[in-house]
Amino acid sequence: MISISLCMIVKNEEKVLRRCLDSLKEAMDEIIIVDTGSTDRTKEIAREYTEQVYDFTWTGSFADARNFAASRATMEYIYTADADEYLDRENLEKLLQIKRLLFPEIEMVQMLYHTVGKYNTVYNFEKEYRPKLYRRLRSFVWIDPIHETLRTDPVVYDSQIEIIHEPESNHAGRDLEALCRIGLTEEHLSNKLHHMYAMELFRSGEEEDFKNAIPVFQKTLSQENRSIDEIKEAFCVLARGYRILGDVAGFFGYALKDVASEGCAEICCELGRYYEQEGNAEEAALWYQNALTETESILDIRTSGEIPKEGLKRCGISIPDDADSSAS
């Protein structure tokens, strides 16, 4: 049987922390909770479950806080959890079974992360695999019978454990503010954060968030090492941002650059919105139809489904409720 350290970073989680810890404590051999500045009863609740409650001065990086928590762990494996997630009994039993039977060569266990729909601010799907349980100290092994090399990729097991993520509120505003700050201050936004920033803008961004994002995604277009996908993401964000600003030249400049390549549903919807706002329902309907049937979404799956359907209805065009887009 393996041993597990639960490592958490928290701030003002008094409403949900007990639910999380009650659902996990049976499977844990050690609980480590790192607080990044709570002003409520979070630390008091945490001390009901463990003596290992630490303060950590916030650096602006969740990774720094995670690494600090992991540095206090002493068990074979580390399980990471956020306070607003929990396991039901069925999935706790699955975790206990993994604890009893996990093969020693497995270094990482992924689990299905299920975010309640109304608070799913980034992804186009309800469930996704995330690494949740991993070996604290890794053993390196030589592989290949000739030209031997060290195995650097972890041995990963995709489990059927489903974690329920049920936040008390929408974190999109906090996340978008942080992503904007990083994008403005870092010389190069990583591919992952670039994609997540663009997705979260289209899933949850307010008009002000798009305006703030303009210099970040303009920077993308000045960087030679950016992929075609990242350039298209920038076109989408910039087209929306300039449409919001009422800068017609800027809007069409970025929208048509995308259309001149393959085009995507996000840009078609932006063109549909523009013409709809201009009172040109016929032209708006053409672009909504393109979004629905001729292009695919790259950031928000709704732009090839419900958004153009609603746009077409506003333009006076009836479509069946069960009409499918080619991108679904």
pTM for this predicted structure: 0.72
The answer as to whether 320 is a domain residue is no
* Tally of residues, the chain: 328
pLDDT at position 175: 85
- DSSP 8-state symbol, 102: -
Helix 265-277 and helix 228-245, axial crossing angle in degrees, nearest 10: 10
Given 130, 165, 200, which residue is the final one in a domain? 165
Task: Determine the Cα–Cα distance for residues 325 and 289; give it in Å rounded to an integer.
Answer: 9
HSE-up of residue 7 (Cα within 13 Å, Cβ side): 25
Cβ atoms of 112 and 128 within 8 Å: the answer is yes
- pLDDT value at residue 325: 43
> In the block, which residue shows the tokens 């929208």?
255
Domain at 38, CATH number: 3.90.550.10
Same domain membership, residue 142 and residue 55 = yes
Do 52 and 139 lie in one domain? The reply is yes
Q: How far apart are CA 126 and CA 312, in angstroms?
A: 26
Q: What integer pLDDT is reported at residue 124 of this predicted model?
A: 47
Structural domains of the chain, count? 2
- pLDDT score at 167: 80
Q: Which residue has the tokens 């540095």?
A: 71
Which DSSP helix (H) or strand (E) runs through 269? Answer: helix 265-277
- Distance CA(37)–CA(39), nearest Å, equals 7
122 and 161 share one domain: yes
> Could you tell me if 200 and 121 are in contact, meaning their C-beta atoms sit under 8 angstroms apart?
yes
Is there a single domain that holds both residue 144 and residue 215? no
DSSP state of 39: -
- The residue among 165, 198, 216 that closes a domain is 165
In whole angstroms, how far apart are CA 234 and each of 8, 120, 181? Answer: 34, 22, 17
Evaluate whether residue 108 is within a structural domain: yes
Which residue, 247, 299, 252, is CA-closest to 271?
Answer: 252
pLDDT < 50: residue spans in the chain: 122, 124, 325-328
DSSP state of 59: -
Are 17 and 160 part of one and the same domain?
A: yes
Q: Are strands 30-35 and 4-10 parallel, antiparallel or unpaired?
A: parallel
Domain that holds residue 153: 4-165
Same domain, 93 and 183: no
304 shares a domain with 216: yes
Show which of 165, 197, 232 is a domain's final residue.
Answer: 165
Say if residues 96 and 159 touch (Cβ distance below 8 Å): no
Do 181 and 224 lie in one domain? The reply is: yes
